[in-house]
Structure 1
Amino acid sequence: MTRTLPQPATEAIDLVTVLQALGDPVRLELVRTLAKEDEPRPCSIDKYDVEISAPTLSHHWRILREAGLTTTFVNGRTRWVELRREDVHSRFPGLLDAVLA
């Protein structure tokens, strides 16, 4: 059984919150990694090129999810994350492309 963690509705995604989330170098690197693929990736620390602890990574995932940048799915004991590219683009066209360029 898969469930999705709470996240803002598309119309509730706020520009200031998105920019604050992307303003952290670790979170920006996580978003860049997610942007390279169009499918969910596991949330585990060994899947990303960042030198932080697992609890710190979880904190960054929460910030990104609450900003509306990512969706987190829970399937059993595994969490998967994907970029909400279309949702962010519908609110702020071109923002992700500009930030990730």
Structure 2
Amino acid sequence: MTIELTKSDDTLVKIFKALADPTRIEIIRTLYNKDKEMACGEVGEICAISKSNASYHFRTLREAGLITVRKDAQTRYTKINKAAFAAFLPGFLESL
């Protein structure tokens, strides 16, 4: 599921709810600092979160349109959706 890049109130609410958690901020910070696609398990290890907890946080960020996730065999890879940040929160990533 991806969001459209329009500034509707519903979209903004999803984005701000997704960013209202320290763990999800840490996930975004990790992805931004690495500046590459990463395995979800690798991000979970860096952020010291369990697989089930990481799955919940990745889903929340994905549904808000802040990250993209692709599956290759049994591994899921994620990266920041820079277009969403540029459209809704310009300068946010640089503030991390």
TM norm structure 1: 0.77
Change (3 A) 1:12 1:72: farther
Number of residues paired by the alignment? Answer: 94
Structure 2: runs of 5 or more not aligned: none
Contact kept? 2:69, 2:76, Cα under 8 Å: yes
Structure 1: runs of 5 or more not aligned: 1-5
TM superposition outliers: structure 1 runs of 4+ over 6 Å: none
Residue 30 (str. 1) matches residue 44 (str. 2): no
Identity %: 33
Contact kept? 1:45, 1:57, Cα under 8 Å: no
5, 25, 44: which one aligns with 1:10? 5
RMSD over equivalenced CA pairs, Å: 2.1
72, 93, 96: which one aligns with 2:69? 72
TM norm structure 2: 0.81
Higher RCO structure (Cα 8 Å, ≥6 apart): 1
Aligned partner of 1:92 in structure 2 is 89
